[in-house]
Amino acid sequence: MRVTSEFFVSALVRRIFGEGGFAAVSRKGAMEAGAVFVCVDRLDGRFDFYGPAPQAMFSDLPQGRLFERLFSQVERAEIDARLTSEARMDPDYWLVEIEARDGKVELPLAEEEETSNPGDSIFRF
């Protein structure tokens, strides 16, 4: 069973602050199961954007949340357009914004899950 979206977002923001970074929740969605998106501000006008990995990508459904990179080093307008489209399909999403000059944010990525050995541990909430 997965943790709620509210708990996941809270833990993510707390971890970023604990590492000396900055994160903010700019949109709160459904507390139990709202989709979580992460926008990474590289502080140079470029952004990375992560969203939930489609569950169809996995033969076995993962216990934790997995993300996929939707955009890399794009202008904010591209992300805003995607979020506008997302809001029409599912208005209950969460948006977490993180500042990371190097673009590095530790998120559980689907591609890591696909390539990991069954005994390997991967970062999960």
- Domains of the chain are 5-115 (3.40.1530.20)
Q: What is the 3-state secondary structure (H, E, C) of the chain?
A: CCCCHHHHHHHHHHHHHHCCCEEEEEECCCCCCCCEEEEEECCCCCEEEEEECCHHHCCCCCCCCCEEEEEEEECHHHHHHHHHHHHHHCCCCEEEEEECCCCCCCCCEHHHHHHCCCCCCCCCC
- Res. 123: pLDDT tops 60: no
pLDDT-derived band at 4, boundaries 50, 70, 90? very high
Q: What is the pTM of this model?
A: 0.83
